[in-house]
Structure 1
Amino acid sequence: MTAEATAPQPRPLWQPGPDRIARAQLTRFHAWAAEQHGAPAPDPGDAAASYAALHRWSVEALPAFWQAVTEWFDVRFATPYETVLADRAMPGARWFPGATLNYAEHALRAADDPARARQPALVHVDERQEPQPLAWAELRRQVASLAAELRGLGVRPGDRVSGYLPNIPQAAVALLATAAVGGVWTSCAPDFGARSVLDRFQQVEPVVLFTVDGYRYGGKEHPRADVVAELRRELPTLRAVVHVPLLGTPAPDGALEWAALTAGDPEPVYEQVPFDHPLWVLYSSGTTGLPKAIVQSQGGILLEHLKQLGLHCDLGPDDRFFWYTSTGWMMWNFLVSGLLTGTTVITYDGSPGHPTTDAQWRVAERTGATFYGTSAAYVMACRKADVHPGRDADLSALRCVATTGSPLPPDGFRWLHDEVGADLWIASVSGGTDVCSCFAGAVPTLPVHVGELQAACLGTDLRSWDPQGGELTGEVGELVVTNPMPSMPVRFWNDPDGARYRESYFETYPGVWRHGDWITLTDRGSVVIHGRSDSTLNRQGVRMGSADIYEAVERLPEIRESLVIGVEEADGGYWMPLFVHLAPGAVLDDALRERIKRTLREQLSPRHVPDEVVEVAAVPHTLTGKRLEVPVKRLLQGTPLDRCVNPGSVDDVELLRVYERLGRERAATRG
């Protein structure tokens, strides 16, 4: 036996107790699937081995697994399916041909139960008020009324309905009403400017636009009447505009009033559509061109979200599900899908840190959240601000905190454990807009190790590959998925031959989904995310993840945020600068530069030490908060700004001019 084979396994930060494992819906599903669908029998004494066996079955026996999901969650097919998976080719997998169903019908099923009808389906909070509940029966009534009005406006299956709305109950009602009539929902947050919205909505040609008169953020009101007027002018396919008076202003000329459209009390009517009928269009960040318009199906999202929310997040009727998000991010769609499991969904419209950094923890406290999702960046900001949620807020109902958006650094895991609760389930998850779900993350029956996602998700054939397609364990490789998932896009909008879709995911490894992340799969089955592979750092043939550098550098109190770029140069050289946004009062002097380099040398390796450390006013991001590594790399290589980035896709285009100038200067000095 080798020394490696006998090396002790790292000690977990958290371990679910036997009662928690026994209560998990995943545990009950496993035992049932073993009896009914041929899944391997669970090992009552070894939860890790049980999950590994269940996962292996879920990807090797895809039809049996997904059939089991439909039966476990009692999916209502208006017409039966002919087979589960008619074609497993990627792209082009055909799921449940012949079946018809409706996503909204499933999202509102709890209202059918008289015991649940008066309980809250949604609880809404903003920066000014106490939680406002919306009962299941009232949610269903509003959806039914609005769906009837949409039909009256001529909205038919396949028509696009758009929302320029914040994370408010009206947005969820509009999505569900659109799905009820078989329309295709698409949304942007009202902090998006007109150009950003038009880059998205003009692609899909909506027939109805739901819009607010403005929104509140950071203690201020932000009117949006001018933007709405521009959207109306530039979207010629609109048949109707619906005014949601969030700031209390009257409807503009020709607009319909939200209150009037949701005042009726008809019986709900759910259009039964094919399994692969479009449910919504999500958008990529669009940093280097028009955002990709990603189409996902009613059936695919229904099954994927039931699995993810019911089995992986372990959500049910007794839970309250809060995720800090906006309608411009896929996590909002994921949040609304909490309704599928009968869970009470918490919608919050406001700043993540107003009036103080601990604002999100206060929302979780005031709403009794049992499952709270946020960004890794927010967790690290709380750590730097010396926030103490477990001490200062009543979070006794909270059993899980999940993070996404970027990898949660090890210090983030430890801070959540120490400052929120020692018996807290910490679920770092990773997926993407492209599938509107997670590839890896939360598993309620498994331990949590610092810096690691617990495991690949059921039904997700997640692998780590080298450039030649060889499988890797314990080494950094490309995140690939080697079998189809139901929520993979059915297509991109305005991509008739599928060329853009294939180029986005299937060009590197034909027939295999390449996501564009660096990952390590450990021999325990856990997952480490290292950052985007399309902004690779590659020093002396060694690939490095930018996330590892950010985790080490941003632990320093003087560094608010950082951005590292690796630039291949024409003469064969390699330049790796580190840009730092300093904390208030900090100065980038020789001592701090040396401390940054020493930190990276000691905690990572000499190869991780940057060639230069450069101070910047702030780090540029996409509108959904991701660092702009690829556009900055192109700017530093001398590409003009207008060819590197779509200005409407970034939070502050002016921040990019420093990199454009630096790229020009380097090009000039290098001849």
Structure 2
Amino acid sequence: MTATDQLTGGWAPDERGLEDANLTRFLAWLAETGRGDFADYHALWSASVDDLGWFWDAVWTFFDIEAATPPTAVLGSTDMPGAQWFPGATLNYVTQAFRHATDDRPAMVVAGEDGSSEWSWHRLRAETAAFGAYLRGLGVVPGDRVVGYLPNVGEAVVAFLGAASVGATWAVCNQDLAVGGVVARLGQLEPKVLVASDGSVYGGKQRDRHAELAEIRSKMPSLVDTVLVPRLGLPVDGTTPWAEMLERGAGAELDVAPVPFDHPLWVLFSSGTTGTPKGIVHGHGGVLLEHVKYLDLQLDLKPEDRFLWQSSTSWMMWNLLVSGLLVGSTIVLYDGSPTYGRTDYLWQVVAEQEVTVVGAGAGYWLACAKEELRPGRDHDLGALRAVGSTGSPLPASGFRWVQEGVGRPIPVVSMSGGTDVVTAFIGGTPLVPIRAGELNAICLGVAAQAWGDGGRPVVGSAGELVVTKPMPSMPVYFWNDPDGEKYRSAYFDKYPGVWCHGDWITVTDRDSIVVHGRSDATLNRGGVRMGSAEIYNAVEGLAEIQDCLVVGVELDDGGYWMPLFVACAHGVEFDDDLRSRIVDAVRSGASPRHVPDDVIAVPGIPRTMTGKRLEIPIKRILLGAKASDVLTPSAVDRPELLAEFEDHART
């Protein structure tokens, strides 16, 4: 593939890239140790899912995972749910996090709208040790919960690592979540310690969270202490200042407690749009193995990299970002708006911090594309070597814009996974070419397939994303789900014993993957199904459209109504001409069969707090349900917009 071809959005590794890839080193090691010779990535992937025990033992050995007691096996049981990984092993995520500590480069860079600072490995270790010692002084023991109400600051990483070092379980909410949403998530864990900041700086404004913090504390009677991070420098009565905590733990050695492989590391939460958010519990060992595999072998992250993924602390991508420490990379935390003052502000941060691998939600890259920004012209992006995308499918036009915007061929690594496994099922590999609009590989050790209506694998046509064999980072259990019923119904109801993720994908004959969107939001017009992502890709290419949402509604008379709701860009008036151009865009860019029945202008499109469209809840509202019955307002970024859809349901 030539450079000209690559600038159409695709990419192929050159000879040097192949030689330098972490995965090439892994393949050589497999051959040298007699574990197998593999001609290419696809041969290795086949072996990795054919024999899970062989593959994950290789990962354990290659990364020299340090265990206080060794495992008695790789897999004690392959049942789903209920697989038993590395029985008998005791270890701790935190041990691996500090194995690459060095004076040659910082552990973290913490950047914000009001400045940036570097954290040395020495500082990170000292503060982690101090916080761990402080927790032990409060009587925190393995299994207790330590939680955060924090923006994306360095102290959030310290609090997580300190809690994990003790064997306590961590959970965190970003401060853009309403109090009810925070309590619904963190309160169910009955935490012993809360780490919170007095506020945050976002969009050029100081956002004081004193009142919210007081209410949160009042609704968590299990708390024995609150440690205050002074983001705004404002005191809060009844809390322990971060500086005082550090002083009490000054000089403490990092004391890391060995815990069983599946001991709870953290609890992540479902969106909570239809009830109390489900607490998804992940174990130390599963996260550790999956993250070193994904970051090192799939994303090709190296110790000399500076790794930034634009994320709030509430999104699973924050957890994956922090795990950059596991492979020795410098992680770059950005605390602020990616569009502060202008849309390309995040690119300024990338340039200033000499970021080498940057990621964000697909929506951000598309916003840049819509404005035809050229960050490679306006900023020094000489250090940048890869761009990641997730959150929703990135269309081919998004791949093309990244390369045009950066100004040179660069891999666009799109990934698809979820909070459920806190990693990707489908991601990237530095050994396989990338085609614009496609994910270039199923990840190693992930037995993912597309299943058609008959529950059988299909290639070249769309099907349900399923995983037929266990992964180490599948949830250990759901919180407050003693009989496992919620867990089983979430993933295994449709195909017993097989994980059904709820995404609709196509596996191509080249073994690449196209993600079409959520399978429960598939548009079925006259028996022909199409993913909503295809509609969004077509419509959002229009500069006048800021956001949109499409649903297919089955009517009582047997009919099918497919409205498209659009939010116009600032200053744009919705008129018949724009309506016609939207229809033409769908007809030519997606499917003539799936032209919407109505195009309806709305003030905005509500989303979950992690940016996902509310397709199914909106569909239920249009069928007559009250918004309050199908949605938890605290899980929605702009709940006031829901009234608009209730009005359309009535009319």
TM more than 0.5: yes
Q: 1:386, CA displacement in angstroms?
A: 2.4
Q: 1:262, CA displacement in angstroms?
A: 2.1
Does 1:104 pair with 2:125? no
Distance in 2 separating the partners of 1:603 and 1:401: 25
Equivalent residue for 1:160, pick from 126, 142, 145: 145
Asked if 2 retains the 8 angstrom alpha-carbon contact of 1:275 and 1:299, the reply is yes
CA displacement, residues 429-449 of structure 1 (integer Å, 9 cap, x when unaligned): 111000000011121111110
Name the aligned partner's letter for residue 234 of structure 2.
Answer: T
Deviates more, 1:96-105 or 1:309-318: 309-318
Q: 1:31, CA displacement in angstroms?
A: 2.1
Match of 1:454 in 2: 440
Does 1:523 pair with 2:509? yes
Does 1:117 pair with 2:114? no
Does 1:246 pair with 2:236? no
Match of 1:669 in 2: none
Matches for 1:548-559 after TM superposition, within 5 Å: 548-559=534-545
Match of 1:262 in 2: 246
Does 1:203 pair with 2:188? yes
Name the aligned partner's letter for residue 243 of structure 2.
Answer: A
Deviates more, 1:301-310 or 1:417-426: 417-426
Q: 1:661, CA displacement in angstroms?
A: 2.0
Match of 1:172 in 2: 157
Distance in 1 separating the partners of 2:452 and 2:581: 34
Asked if 1 retains the 8 angstrom alpha-carbon contact of 2:22 and 2:297, the reply is yes
Match of 1:182 in 2: 167
Equivalent residue for 2:71, pick from 58, 63, 81: 81
Provide the secondary structure at the position in 1 that maps to 2:100.
Answer: helix
Asked if 2 retains the 8 angstrom alpha-carbon contact of 1:37 and 1:68, the reply is no
Asked if 1 retains the 8 angstrom alpha-carbon contact of 2:9 and 2:401, the reply is no
Asked if 2 retains the 8 angstrom alpha-carbon contact of 1:12 and 1:447, the reply is no
Distance in 2 separating the partners of 1:565 and 1:12: 29
Asked if 1 retains the 8 angstrom alpha-carbon contact of 2:9 and 2:397, the reply is no
Equivalent residue for 1:21, pick from 18, 21, 29: 18
Matches for 1:26-65 after TM superposition, within 5 Å: 26-36=23-33, 38-39=35-36, 41-43=37-39, 50-65=40-55
Q: 1:425, CA displacement in angstroms?
A: 1.2
Asked if 1 retains the 8 angstrom alpha-carbon contact of 2:9 and 2:399, the reply is no
CA displacement, residues 159-188 of structure 1 (integer Å, 9 cap, x when unaligned): 110000000000000000011000000000
Deviates more, 1:578-587 or 1:558-567: 578-587
Equivalent residue for 1:367, pick from 348, 353, 359: 353
Name the aligned partner's letter for residue 43 of structure 2.
Answer: A
Distance in 2 separating the partners of 1:25 and 1:58: 17
Distance in 1 separating the partners of 2:467 and 2:584: 37
Equivalent residue for 1:616, pick from 602, 607, 610: 602
Distance in 2 separating the partners of 1:227 and 1:556: 39
Equivalent residue for 1:348, pick from 334, 337, 361: 334
Q: 1:101, CA displacement in angstroms?
A: 0.2
Matches for 1:255-404 after TM superposition, within 5 Å: 255-263=239-247, 264-404=250-390
Asked if 2 retains the 8 angstrom alpha-carbon contact of 1:110 and 1:117, the reply is no
Distance in 2 separating the partners of 1:304 and 1:495: 24
Distance in 1 separating the partners of 2:137 and 2:484: 34
Provide the secondary structure at the position in 1 that maps to 2:469.
Answer: coil
Provide the secondary structure at the position in 2 that maps to 1:195.
Answer: helix
CA displacement, residues 287-307 of structure 1 (integer Å, 9 cap, x when unaligned): 011111000000000000000
CA displacement, residues 332-351 of structure 1 (integer Å, 9 cap, x when unaligned): 01100000000000011000
Distance in 1 separating the partners of 2:246 and 2:458: 54
CA displacement, residues 374-401 of structure 1 (integer Å, 9 cap, x when unaligned): 1111011111122111111111110000
Match of 1:581 in 2: 567
Equivalent residue for 1:70, pick from 57, 60, 71: 60
% identical aligned pairs: 52
Q: 1:229, CA displacement in angstroms?
A: 0.4
Equivalent residue for 1:135, pick from 120, 129, 146: 120
Distance in 2 separating the partners of 1:443 and 1:316: 14
Name the aligned partner's letter for residue 595 of structure 2.
Answer: V
Match of 1:480 in 2: 466
In the superposition, the TM-score normalised over structure 1's length comes to 0.94
Name the aligned partner's letter for residue 230 of structure 1.
Answer: E
Does 1:649 pair with 2:646? no
Name the aligned partner's letter for residue 38 of structure 2.
Answer: P
Q: 1:11, CA displacement in angstroms?
A: 9.0
Asked if 2 retains the 8 angstrom alpha-carbon contact of 1:120 and 1:344, the reply is yes
Match of 1:420 in 2: 406
Match of 1:46 in 2: none
CA displacement, residues 586-611 of structure 1 (integer Å, 9 cap, x when unaligned): 22222221221122112222211000
CA displacement, residues 397-451 of structure 1 (integer Å, 9 cap, x when unaligned): 1000000111111111111111113221110111100000001112111111010
Q: 1:12, CA displacement in angstroms?
A: 7.4
Q: 1:496, CA displacement in angstroms?
A: 0.3
Match of 1:220 in 2: 205
Distance in 2 separating the partners of 1:664 and 1:491: 41
CA RMSD of aligned residues (A): 1.2
Match of 2:3 in 1: none
Asked if 1 retains the 8 angstrom alpha-carbon contact of 2:356 and 2:384, the reply is yes
Matches for 1:227-242 after TM superposition, within 5 Å: 227-242=212-227
Provide the secondary structure at the position in 2 that maps to 1:22.
Answer: helix
Match of 1:3 in 2: none
Runs (5+) with no aligned partner, structure 1: 1-9, 44-49, 666-671
Provide the secondary structure at the position in 2 that maps to 1:132.
Answer: strand
Name the aligned partner's letter for residue 108 of structure 1.
Answer: F
Runs of at least 4 residues of structure 1 off by over 3 A?
none
Distance in 2 separating the partners of 1:502 and 1:468: 21
Distance in 2 separating the partners of 1:324 and 1:155: 32
Provide the secondary structure at the position in 2 that maps to 1:235.
Answer: coil
Asked if 2 retains the 8 angstrom alpha-carbon contact of 1:402 and 1:426, the reply is yes
Distance in 2 separating the partners of 1:410 and 1:491: 37
